[in-house]
Amino acid sequence: MSSPRAKQLWWGPPGVGKTRKGLALPSVLVIDTEDGTQWYTDEFPNATIERMVSWDDFFARLRWLRTNPHQWGTLVIDGITILKNDLDAKWIDTFMRRNQTSKGFKQEYYTLQPAEYKPIGVEFDKMLRELTMLDMNVIITARSKTAYEPGEIMKAIGHTFDGPKQLPYWADTSLYLSRAKDGRFMAKINAGDLSENPFKDRTGRFPCPQEFEFTDDLLVNLFGEGITRVSVPTVLATAEQVEELKTLAVMIELDEKKIKRSLAEYGVDCYEDLTETSAIALIGRMEKAKK
């Protein structure tokens, strides 16, 4: 059995070293959303860097990484805030076109209503599922921000990460990065002052809750081959399998709701996203239902 992959959230104040830590990892692809890598390219010649600020381009890149052979074993998303802002902007533009009676229509601004956050959250969760299915270590970096008491106006209670609240639930480990007075990179298990479980670490491989030195080889020492091995692509359902599934769905009279429920069991929302193995299993279930 292959060594497990690492899924981590790194957060901390600007300039603490999140970008440098990501670039130092072996076989790493860094998605740079803030142009934060430009001064370090000579220092980390083995790291591959791709500038990206578009949510749709980013999601397409994830799909390519999951389904194609490549040389990388670790993906660093540095950082998530810009991509999330572009996702919000995409949906705001959609809602503004749909609701031309809104106050900001002609001025090109739109205030999201509570119910309109749902499709944004659904699309972000879909991205997290894509990351979960990706055979790579995945590290998401985020800035720190002031945490305020829920329901209170401007009552600061500490610090948390700048990103969607579901990130610590997705990550196996959330690390707060800092610098010691002597310049050493330091880290500690911390999911932010608003987290229900700030010391969450599924791996059980990090010191908790005390602070520890974050050396360049720490993750290799802790995760071994899981950090160093390159990705193995996912084999998706063939065109023939997709067509067979659609034909079987018609034959056994599955409505759209039942189809979506069946696909959700495999973590996808369309036949084309099924793996080859999942497609075979679902075809078998449909064949049995037909009989």
Distance CA(131)–CA(172), nearest Å, equals: 13
Distance CA(78)–CA(86), nearest Å, equals: 14
For the chain, the C-alpha Rg in angstroms (whole number) is: 21
* Average pLDDT of the residues in 124-146: 92
DSSP symbol at 203: T
Give the pLDDT confidence score for residue 22 in this predicted structure: 94
| Numbers of helices and strands, H then E, in the chain | 10, 9
Give the pLDDT confidence score for residue 184 in this predicted structure: 93
The domain locations on the chain are 7-228, 239-290
The answer to which of 78-87, 194-203, 229-238 has the lowest mean pLDDT is: 194-203
**pLDDT of 143 higher than 50:** yes
For residue 248, the one-letter residue type is L
Distance CA(133)–CA(236), nearest Å, equals: 12
Give the pLDDT confidence score for residue 1 in this predicted structure: 47
Give yes or no for a contact between 31 and 81, defined as CB atoms under 8 angstroms apart.
no
Chosen CATH of 7-228 out of 3.40.91, 1.10.530, 3.40.50, 3.90.550: 3.40.50
Query: For the segment 220-267, what is each residue's pLDDT rounded down to a tens digit?
Result: 999 988 888 888 888 889 999 999 999 998 898 888 888 888 888 887
Give yes or no for a contact between 142 and 190, defined as CB atoms under 8 angstroms apart.
no
Distance CA(104)–CA(96), nearest Å, equals: 8
Tokens of 200: 């969450």
